[in-house]
Chains A and B, each alone.
Chain A
Amino acid sequence: MTTTSAAVEVNARSIRRIAFSHMLGRWDVRFSPYLYISPFFLVFGVMGLFPLLYTAWVSVHDWNLIGGQGDFVGLENFVTVLTQGYFWNSLRNTFSIFLLSSIPQVLLALGIAAVLDFNLRGKTFWRMGVLLPYVVAPVAVALIFNDLFGDKYGLINSAIGGLGLEPIRWHVDVIPSHLAIATMVNFRWTGYNALIFLAAMQAVPRDYYEAAIIDGANRWRTFRSITLPLLRPIIIFVILTSTIGGLQIFDEARMFDNVGQGGASRQWQTLTLYIYELGWNQRNFGRASAVAWLLFLIIIVIAVANFLITRRIAGTADRKLRTARKA
């Protein structure tokens, strides 16, 4: 009796033990993925979501950089900012610089990637070469480019002066200042985007090209009809990221002159520079937060619009490719 009861007990215990370790195993399978991915969301929660919500809280208050929270003012900060000329001016500058940088950047990057995709001698050298500007800190880039874009003693104006032409007033006129800043942005990001495109191009199955060449297609035709359509998802990705980055241009514009406020008439003051001026120069965190939120909303609207448009284009292109392959 005693032995059997003991055996039963032992048996029950081992069953329980099996059951528990089983359960652990099941938990492991079921919950571990969440555990592994959770650090990102926690860090995002602390570093991204919380500041976002807190900024909204600040934007409806009087808020001084040092003095801190003041009275609740509702939407007054938004109204003040929206009725100030500098907000709309900086919005215009942001879009102008963004378009002047993003469009040539994506096109150039595509071109460079296509060239790098050929069988070049010293492949790695060229590929690393295009990435080098990305490694250089933007502030250092600005220092070098400021030597080029000096109004009186800059290299470009010296060269233009040598040809007997009027010097370009880089720091006075609106469009030249935007061009100069866009050049710095492009210098930094073109190579980076080119490498992303290159990676995608290398993933294109080579037999497509062989088949096309046998059919008598030239380089340009294969690029247009095979490479581009298959690159759509990556192009969408690059356009999206450069949109988000382009609307937040700060370093290059801030470093464009020694004052860092975007010019005496705010010729090249971007939205982020405007936020900085409100927050750190005027110490009005309430208004700075209001602009930050407006910028956030603008970026969301543009990103969604971008996504819809590019998806549309991508959709039609995919269909075209499919029908082309069938034929």
Chain B
Amino acid sequence: MKRFPRTTLAVTVAGAASFALVMSGCSAGAGTEQSADKNVKLTVATFNEFGYDDLFGEYEKANPNVTITHKKAATSNEARDNLTTRLAAGSGLSDVEAIEVDWLPELLKYSDQFVDLTSDDVKDRWLDWKAKAATDADGRLIAYGTDIGPEGVCYRSDLFAAAGLPTDRAEVAKLLGTSWDSYFAAGKTFAAAGTNVPWFDSAGATWQGVVNQIPNAYEKKDGTIIATENPEVKAAYTSVLDASSTLSAHLGQWSDDWTASFQNNGFATMLCPGWMLGVISGNAEGVTGWDVADTFPGGGGNWGGSYLTVPNQSKHQKEAQKLASWLTAPEQQLKAFASKGTFPSQVDALKSDELLGATNPFFNNAPTGQILANRAAAVDVTPFKGEFYFAINDAMQQALTRVEDGTMTPDQSWAQWTTDVKALG
């Protein structure tokens, strides 16, 4: 009986001692910086390549009271995990956080966590659809657009020649036409020539192009899920899979087989946003014949692109907004374009000679600047992406893959997708 309390005491003492140790270790990192009028330290978090490295120095020179720390994540997924975790934790975010358009919808639901960046200085700075996608239901603009991914069609002119089709990019644009039907019909002509090369890479990649032209594919504006009853979605599903059965290489985008196929005449065309040009020239190194056609089936299409936000957590919201505004101004985005090829989303930048004059030697010296600017102007639909867009579309991608790899018929796979979508709610 007597020994018992002593042991308890010992444990308590030991506990307190090591707890103090742990705590002292923690507190070192949590040094708070108070908002001083004179010197401001701003942190900017980006991912991949925004092309801002030189711009930070320029800004610091023009604003001597500002010191910028740049945190760069390797991939956008890493940045997304970091952002959501710290948003949930309520602290630890940078003053300016870069986000990608794919995860913008899920953040819009929590738009009160971000500073309203609406300002007269930036009115009409961006293409209409770019700014609209970052505006929440109350009309608050929570993010400044940086770059965009307007889509054209990339094709292999050498394979086109082998199939007896035109190779010149203007004629190819005419051949591919402006609707999905004409794009698939051109594919059937190509296949009929007996080259034994598939027309496009995968149903999933083609689906991305189609679904981004449907204003409300999966959800109504109020967030109700309509995906499984939407006739437009069902029609698109049927038409893409019909085409895929004869025209697709069945290569899931970004898979190892897909990457390897660039060296193996894997397919003749693919839908390509501006940033994809770099991916193609990297994967297809040594392959000649790639070119870009100035057209896109079903109207315009945009894939990807990023924004800068200022989280409420920031202690220097005004300064951070000023920096974000400066970075996303047309002049700066043109410099980023020159350094890393990120295609600007600003109306003025799209008219600049520097951009319009840009050509790409890998793609047979195609005037990619002019083509992509035309493609950006052709985008006329801003698809609504709600809270569940990402998950539903992901399930759809898998539904398409199940049909492509032969594990299910289109009807079975559609039924499975319906179950998957129902399970989300």
Contact = CB atoms under 8 A, between A and B. Distances in A.
A38 B407 contact: no
Contacts of B409: none
Contact of B84 (A43, A66, A150, A172): A66
A169 interface: yes
Contact of A42 (B19, B87, B88, B390): B19
Contacts of B18: 35, 38-39, 42
Given A153-B260, A265-B407, A258 B255 contact: yes
A50 interface: no
B19 A281 contact: no
Interface in A15-64: 30-31, 34-35, 38-39, 42-43, 46
Given A259-B252, A281-B390, A282-B391, A150 B260 contact: yes
A66 B81 CA distance: 11
A283 interface: yes
B17 interface: yes
A65 B87 CA distance: 9
Nearest to B388: A282
A66 B88 contact: yes
A5 interface: no
A197 to B, nearest CB: 35
Interface residues of A, number: 37
Nearest to B402: A264
Contact of B13 (A31, A171, A257): A31
A257 B391 contact: no
B405 A169 contact: yes
Contacts of B13: 31, 35
A42 B256 CA distance: 45
Interface in B374-403: 390-391, 394, 397-399, 401-402
B22 A264 contact: no
B1 interface: no
Interface in B155-193: none
Interface of A: 30-31, 34-35, 38-39, 42-43, 46, 65-68, 80, 84-86, 146-147, 150-154, 169, 171-172, 257-259, 261, 264-265, 280-283
Given A38-B15, A150-B260, 20 more contacts: A31-B10, A34-B11, A42-B18, A65-B88, A66-B88, A66-B110, A85-B419, A86-B423, A150-B257, A151-B257, A152-B257, A152-B261, A153-B260, A154-B257, A171-B255, A258-B254, A258-B255, A258-B256, A264-B401, A265-B402
8 contacts: A35-B13, A38-B18, A66-B84, A84-B423, A261-B398, A265-B407, A281-B394, A282-B424
